[in-house]
Chain A
Amino acid sequence: MQNNDVVLKIENLRKYFPAERKIFGKVKLFVHAVDDVSFEIRRKESLALVGESGCGKTTTGRVLVGLEEPTSGRIVVEQEDVTPLLYDDESAAKRYVHETYVKKFAAMSDEQLKSVTGIDALYAQRFLDLGRNEAKFVDELLQNRRERVWQMRRRIQMIFQDPYESLNPRMTIFDIVAEPLNIHGVGNLKEREEMVAKMLADVGLTPPETFMFRFPHELSGGQRQRVAIARALILNPSFVVADEPTSMLDVSIRTGVMKLMMRLAEEHDMSYLYITHDLAVARYMSNDIAVMYLGKIVERGPTEEVLKNPLHPYTQALLAAVPIPDPEMKRGEPNIKGSVPRPINPPPRCRFFDRCPYAVKFCEDNDHPPLREVAPKHFVACYVVSGEAS
């Protein structure tokens, strides 16, 4: 099962943004952009994160690549807890290690520590090996932090939405694609040239010599997005966050870029998180799909299964609202009320409560429902669907 292992695991990720500015006193209002999100992606597999604008899908991606610090939660890449590396501030990283491991382990007996399972097991063992020395344990987790941040960035890359803004207009295509190599000190100039040429050919910009010394403005949207993909893949990352990479492209060019991404993922043993608002595109780009609403994943499962048999009332409404490219097909009426509220300190109940056509008293009185497996590998966060509320 070597090639089926988990590349990325996210546990209870939260990202809150302050929604007010205060000079004195504590900020009390927060936008809950990402609120307790968990998922995992296996090697060579892909997860599509779908939802409307403002649901937190892009923020999730930005936290993964280190562009935003998480408020809380744990991110594990290839069995290594990389969360301490996501904090700019060393003391925040220290606090995280203390909260996540030290506090818990210190309260356990040696026997209990040995029976710890999952990702914790590795760290529990290390804790024991160090003779339960808390300071040493924290130091070890944080040692070489800067260097490890660099390594992590090599492993996780991002492709942005807008190829007109994500490429520096003053750099040549060669400089853009070679920049990750420069930063990470890979190869000498000649080797870099070879790598860039190979990468450009790989993304369909052939012959590479004709593209290398041109500037972004000389390329079309589709070609620019191919350059962005080349830049993201040149360091051979194990994981790529693709944030709506095809939404700016025209239909006739879009499928080419979609197929290119799938082919390269296959060839480079790469997994990816595909962030999109377009369910039809998600269908083609992912094995699994997670539907987000107001910072929460409300439904998750194999893509075809979720699209054929959507269970959460929000997913059902979203799917019913997607226009069908067939004038003879009539689609259903999206059963949903009102519009998306802003997630500022949302009340502790189902985030979808106000818009849900099936909501009952139970939904109002209880916290946001947890994801429950209602069919094989098909998870839904809804009390009504899981039968807890009637």
Chain B
Amino acid sequence: MLLSVRDLRMYYKTKMGYVKAVDGISFDLDQGESLGIVGESGCGKTSISMTILRLLPDNAEFKGGSVLFDMGNGPVDLVNLPESEMRKYRWRGISMIFQAAMNSLNPVYKVGDQIIEAIQNHFPDMPLDKARQKVAELFTLVGLDPSRMDQYPHQYSGGMKQRAVIAMALACDPKIIIADEPTTALDVIVQDRILKEIRKIQRKLNMAMIYISHDIAVIAEVSDKIAVMYAGKFVELADAVTIFKQPMHPYTYGLMHAFPSTVGEKTELVTIPGEPPNLLNPPKGCRFAPRCPKADSVCSEVEPEYRELEKNHFVACHHPVQPKEVVRFYAE
């Protein structure tokens, strides 16, 4: 297994108490596999990637779990590595395409130079002309004209900046790439091109990918398997088709039916009542229980175990949705 995350916990310490952003996350990722993590804002999906890469702010507290990463010479627990060792795994092992990529480029440096800097940081022995050649190759790979290497970010359009950031993430031939909402600020036509580019490169280089988004339609396009996250926890994980066709967690079911589509029959959209809980004080028992139409007294007392109900189909629910079952949400 390339990456094996077990019971990962990371809380943010605030004046009011701990915000349980990542609260017992487990998943496996194989080479060439693409995992989509879908969840609403504030559910902790970005925090997972920051915890794996250990790029956490000062008020973050690691609370347990393991991140076993295998680059070919046996699994290493990234959690216990000293910072100097960790740097070897960042970018070369696992790299990241950040949210709002447009702002993650430095405006006063040429785009090509910024990528060269990343390469030379990790491969100090690489001569400059070789690094330049590498950047030119990366530009071609992501669909940018290599002559643009010597331009500044303001001379790029939004889509081009996004491509440059993808090129930067690929600079050190990572085994895993984490893409955090890389297309959220883009218009659909540009988004479409970037999504296809990411998927094409990921398949071509046989990389593993973790794609994080709030948009289930985007997740559907780029993922082999999908994890649905709610209030700091995975509530369901299965292959993409199963998640869409046979969701077992009521929250997943609600999401699928709340999402409008431009194709197919115009079906009635579901409204999930209430709001996601505050992670400072998540409800006891199942965190979705206060909004769940299937919840009973057990749900509000006992936290459901995250278990494999069917082969490769993980669900954390006391009353999973059965095939052909229609769940009715009452709102308004």
A residues apposed to B, CB below 8 Å: 52-53, 204, 220, 222-223, 250-256, 258-260, 263, 277-281, 283-284, 304, 307, 317-329, 331, 334, 336, 339-340
The 5 closest A-B pairs by CB, nearest first: A323-B217, A321-B192, A280-B260, A250-B40, A52-B187
Chain A contacts for B157, CB-based, 8 A: 339
Chain B contacts for A53, CB-based, 8 A: 187
Q: A251 contacts which of B216, B241, B244, B263 (Cβ < 8 Å)?
A: B216
**CB pair B241 A327 closer than 8 Å:** yes
Complex Cα distance, B266 from A307, in Å, reads 11
Chain A contacts for B220, CB-based, 8 A: 323-327
Assuming A251-B255, A258-B269, A325-B256, is B192 touching A334 (CB within 8 A)?
Answer: yes
Chain A binder among B10-18, B23-31, B131-139, B270-278: B270-278
Chain B contacts for A223, CB-based, 8 A: 275
**CB pair A325 B217 closer than 8 Å:** yes
Complex Cα distance, B240 from A329, in Å, reads 12
**CB pair B271 A324 closer than 8 Å:** no
- Judge whether B283 is part of the interface by a CB distance below 8 angstroms: no
- Judge whether B85 is part of the interface by a CB distance below 8 angstroms: no
Assuming A323-B218, A325-B259, A327-B241, is B272 touching A252 (CB within 8 A)?
Answer: yes
- Judge whether B215 is part of the interface by a CB distance below 8 angstroms: yes
- Judge whether B120 is part of the interface by a CB distance below 8 angstroms: no
Chain A contacts for B159, CB-based, 8 A: 339
Chain B nearest CB: distance from A359 CB in Å? 17
Assuming A220-B275, A326-B244, A339-B190, is B258 touching A260 (CB within 8 A)?
Answer: no
Complex Cα distance, B258 from A258, in Å, reads 11
Chain A contacts for B276, CB-based, 8 A: 250, 252
Within residues 243 to 279 of chain B, which ones have a CB less than 8 A from any CB in chain A? 244-245, 251, 254-256, 258-264, 266, 269-273, 275-276
Chain A contacts for B187, CB-based, 8 A: 52-53, 277, 340
Q: Which residue of A lies closest to B256 (CB)?
A: A325
Q: A284 contacts which of B244, B255, B269 (Cβ < 8 Å)?
A: B269
Interface band, chain B: 35 or more
**CB pair A327 B244 closer than 8 Å:** yes
Q: B188 contacts which of A255, A263, A277 (Cβ < 8 Å)?
A: A277
Chain B nearest CB: distance from A130 CB in Å? 51
Chain A contacts for B326, CB-based, 8 A: none
Q: Is the interface of A mostly helix, strand, loop or mixed?
A: helix
- Judge whether B2 is part of the interface by a CB distance below 8 angstroms: no
Complex Cα distance, B217 from A193, in Å, reads 43
Complex Cα distance, B192 from A250, in Å, reads 21
Complex Cα distance, B241 from A300, in Å, reads 35
- Judge whether B310 is part of the interface by a CB distance below 8 angstroms: no
- Judge whether B189 is part of the interface by a CB distance below 8 angstroms: yes
Complex Cα distance, B291 from A250, in Å, reads 15
**CB pair B189 A259 closer than 8 Å:** no
Chain B nearest CB: distance from A21 CB in Å? 19
Complex Cα distance, B143 from A213, in Å, reads 54
Chain B nearest CB: distance from A116 CB in Å? 42
Within residues 173 to 218 of chain B, which ones have a CB less than 8 A from any CB in chain A? 187-192, 195, 214-218
Could you list 19 further interchain pairs (A-B, Cβ under 8 angstroms) beyond the known A252-B254, A256-B273? A250-B40, A251-B214, A252-B251, A252-B272, A252-B291, A259-B271, A260-B332, A279-B188, A321-B188, A322-B217, A323-B192, A325-B217, A326-B220, A327-B220, A327-B221, A327-B223, A329-B263, A334-B192, A339-B159
